[in-house]
């Protein structure tokens, strides 16, 4: 065991048991040489990725735990009467060193992991779970928080201070502070198990995604595939010393394969591999893990006094209750299914022309949809991709954010990054004032989990009356450059880029007093508003002309092609809405059970989808064994939030569009000041109404999806 670890374990014992005559203060802690625990002497004090080693994480986390234990003990040992400053603010400011280390660690286990980090995550998870419980279940600490809360009417708190106090107090009660000692021990065990199971689920999914390869040696089996996809598959094969082409389960490979491959049997092969991830009855199977997670969540919810886990989760959301969230999903289901059935009939008719007997299968949908898109709208995705080079789309996003908020972006190659693919950007106001730092990480690799997300390495807060600038990152899995051809994005990837950038703006433009209320620290069904509203600028005709330029000629996207995109705007929305709603309803079904599940997740999912009457041609966007959003990603009982925020975002963009100016400065100022800057300092609907003037209406969403 390293010397640092021995020292840290000793300090933890001293902090908890008080076995030392003199408890060291945080300031008296010996300084280690661990880069994660030192002050960061880097541009903008970003993480020193170039000096951090895998073996640094656990000692740094243990040291951070020890320091926060001392900070918490200082709060509970304070002989002065509990006040907002000596209890609530002191608690808010505790754990800074731990937060630095865990933030870097967990971001890299998602974006650039390896076997050591994955093993470490299983080691560290129970330590952090136990530490969190030691704070949340600390009776003396809770008594002080409760005293401040109960005396709040006598104090003249600002609205932000009052919000922080309310959040802290409710967090204690929601995390078991009122339980008996025996119940607290049970809760600790549940939390520890859940933390480990969540990590195991995610690691299994990454392994399953990386392990499958569709190897092709006969060139005729490439029929229908676009040249750039074939070239990418060839590069993958060359990297693996295989003489042929390799297609994978990463989205930039599997999705276009399903969309264009003429060979139906190969489409079936790769589709089945995709939909069976985590469901192969091997050491990476997620069935039992998902089942255990669901049952542990139910046990936790009941222990805390809730009927089910969804009721527990949604208490602090905009929806407030599972019934309210489910109501929106149900209202959209019927029109979405009707549209999807009409789309399925078109596919069946085309299959008959191709002399293919039998029903439409899920692996047929994307292939024939592409043919129908071409026939109906003369629109081929390969026709649009040359106008969407990654560099042009990125510049388009910069232009949009400059026009709306005056932001400037400048790449700084001296800022350390965690992988050669990652770029770092300094973000400033129009007058040059610092806003923050933004990392962008775009391409798939085996060390990165699938999907796209925004995260932070440092949240915004105020320190000594000065704004601490945030450090934000967006991570995606876009089509890679091939040879001398730049990365050319699909239309879906373009909107994904805008989406994640909207999240980034929420983090970057935050301007609040407390870190725990900053940026994206808002209810799950509000957090998608800033991201989804940005997608509307991605597809607006006026904006397209600003950034959609042919990567070879520089020609602006033609009006005729924009018209095709607009005409096809509601095309395939039945399928897309149904697959999303099916996953959202499956999520809600799992988390509204009131008795432990005894059936397998496969059986539960089938029964849920049969009850829903999900068309056989469509599967849920995420099935139980690879639904990482809800089993390892923080969206449990919250996947509905994308459509909930969809109501908000379409209504919000309509405020710009109906004004006649998509860059309306007055509207942009209102949105920035009342949504992007405010974080979680006020109730979400109050913030929205301050921007819009009224609650959102569903009409714009129905129109956008062609469901009205």
Catalytic residues, by residue number, are 500
Helix (H) or strand (E) holding 429: none
Q: Give the C-alpha separation, 380 to 56, whole Å.
A: 50
User: Measuring CA to CA, how many Å separate 690 from each of 331, 392, 457, 671, 700?
Assistant: 27, 34, 30, 9, 19
DSSP labels for 65-124?
HHHHHHHHHHHHH--SPP-IIIIIIHHHTTTHHHHHHHHHHHHHHHHS--HHHHHHHHHH
CB 262 within 8 A of CB 223: yes
Cross-strand partners of 475: 441, 453
Half-sphere exposure (CA, 13 Å, Cβ side) for 196?
A: 14
Neighbours of 632 (CB within 10 A): 25
Quote the tokens at residue 84.
Answer: 């907002």
**Residue 389 — φ and ψ, nearest 5°?**
-65, 150
**All residues at 6 or more sequence positions from 27 whose CB lies less than 8 Å from its CB, including other chains:** none
Environment class of 433 (CB within 10 Å of its CB; exposed 0-12, middle 13-18, buried 19+): exposed
399: buried, middle or exposed (CB in 10 Å: 19+, 13-18, 0-12)?
middle
Given CA atoms 192, 639, 278, 611 in this order, what sign does their dihedral have? positive
Place of tokens 């405020």: 655
- Is the distance from CB of 563 to CB of 587 less than 8 angstroms? no
Alpha-carbon distance values, 518 to 92, 505, 645, 683 (Å): 12, 12, 19, 13
Cα–Cα distances (Å) from 1 to 69, 120, 658, in that order, read 22, 15, 65
The token pair that represents 585 in the structure block: 């309803």
Q: Report d(CA 548, CA 555) in Å as an integer.
A: 8
Helix (H, G, I), strand (E, B) or coil at 471: strand
Tokens for 689?
Answer: 């109404």
């Amino acid at each position: 065991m390293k010397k640092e670890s021995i020292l840290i374990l000793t300090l933890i014992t001293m902090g908890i048991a008080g076995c030392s005559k003199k408890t060291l203060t945080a300031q008296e802690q010996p300084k280690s040489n661990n880069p994660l625990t030192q002050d960061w002497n880097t541009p903008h004090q970003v993480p020193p990725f170039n000096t951090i080693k895998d073996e640094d994480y656990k000692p740094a986390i243990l040291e951070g735990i020890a320091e926060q234990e001392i900070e918490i003990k200082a709060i509970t040992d304070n002989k002065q009467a509990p006040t907002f400053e000596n209890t609530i603010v002191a608690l808010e400011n505790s754990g800074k060193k731990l937060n630095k280390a865990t933030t870097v660690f967990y971001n890299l286990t998602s974006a650039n992991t390896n076997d050591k980090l994955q093993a470490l995550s299983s080691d560290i998870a129970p330590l952090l779970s136990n530490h969190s419980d030691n704070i949340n279940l600390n009776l003396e600490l809770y008594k002080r928080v409760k005293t401040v809360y109960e005396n709040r009417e006598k104090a003249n708190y600002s609205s932000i201070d009052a919000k922080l106090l309310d959040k802290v107090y409710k967090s204690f009660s929601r995390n078991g502070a009122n339980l008996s000692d025996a119940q607290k021990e049970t809760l600790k065990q549940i939390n520890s198990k859940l933390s480990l199971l969540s990590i195991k689920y995610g690691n299994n999914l990454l392994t399953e995604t990386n392990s499958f390869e569709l190897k092709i040696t006969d060139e005729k089996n490439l029929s229908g595939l676009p040249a750039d996809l074939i070239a990418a598959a060839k590069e993958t094969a060359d990297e693996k010393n295989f003489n042929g082409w390799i297609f994978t389960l990463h989205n930039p490979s599997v999705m276009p394969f399903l969309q264009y491959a003429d060979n139906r049997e190969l489409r079936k092969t790769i589709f089945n591999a995709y939909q069976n991830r985590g469901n192969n009855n091997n050491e990476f199977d997620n069935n039992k893990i998902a089942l255990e997670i669901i049952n542990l969540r139910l046990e936790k919810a009941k222990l805390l006094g809730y009927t089910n886990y969804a009721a527990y989760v949604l208490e602090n959301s905009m929806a407030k209750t599972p019934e309210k969230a489910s109501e929106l999903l149900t209202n959209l289901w019927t029109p979405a299914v009707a549209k999807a059935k009409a789309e399925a009939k078109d596919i069946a008719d085309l299959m008959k022309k191709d002399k293919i007997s039998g029903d439409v299968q899920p692996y047929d949908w994307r292939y024939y949809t592409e043919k129908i898109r071409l026939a109906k709208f003369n629109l081929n995705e390969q026709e649009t991709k040359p106008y969407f080079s990654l560099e042009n789309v990125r510049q388009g996003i910069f232009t949009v954010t400059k026009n709306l908020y005056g932001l400037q972006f400048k790449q700084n190659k001296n800022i350390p990054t965690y992988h050669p693919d990652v770029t770092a950007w300094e973000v400033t106001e129009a007058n040059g004032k610092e806003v923050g730092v933004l990392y962008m990480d775009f391409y798939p690799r085996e060390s990165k989990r699938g999907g796209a997300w925004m995260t932070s390495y440092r949240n915004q807060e105020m320190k000594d009356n000065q704004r601490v600038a945030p450090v934000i990152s967006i991570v995606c899995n876009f089509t890679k450059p091939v040879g001398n051809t730049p990365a050319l994005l699909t239309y879906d990837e373009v909107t994904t880029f805008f989406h994640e950038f909207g999240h980034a703006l929420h983090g970057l433009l935050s301007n609040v007093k407390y870190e725990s209320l900053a940026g994206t620290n808002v209810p799950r069904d509000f957090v998608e508003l800033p991201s989804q509203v940005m997608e509307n600028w991605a597809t607006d005709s006026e904006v397209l002309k600003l950034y959609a330029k042919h990567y070879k000629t520089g020609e602006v996207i033609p009006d005729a092609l924009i018209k095709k995109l607009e005409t096809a705007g509601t095309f395939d929305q039945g399928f897309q809405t149904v697959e999303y709603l099916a996953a959202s309803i499956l999520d809600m079904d799992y988390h509204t059970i009131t008795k432990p599940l005894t059936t397998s997740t496969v059986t539960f999912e089938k029964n849920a989808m049969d009850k829903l009457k999900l068309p056989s041609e469509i599967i849920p966007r995420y099935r139980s064994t690879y639904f990482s959003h809800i089993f390892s990603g923080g969206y449990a009982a919250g996947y509905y939030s994308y459509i909930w925020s969809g109501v908000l975002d379409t209504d919000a963009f309509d405020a710009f569009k109906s004004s006649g100016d998509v860059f309306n400065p007055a509207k942009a100022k209102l949105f920035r000041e009342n949504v992007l800057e405010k974080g979680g300092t006020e109730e979400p609907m109050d913030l929205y109404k301050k921007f819009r003037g009224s609650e959102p209406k569903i009409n714009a969403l129905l129109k956008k999806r062609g469901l009205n």
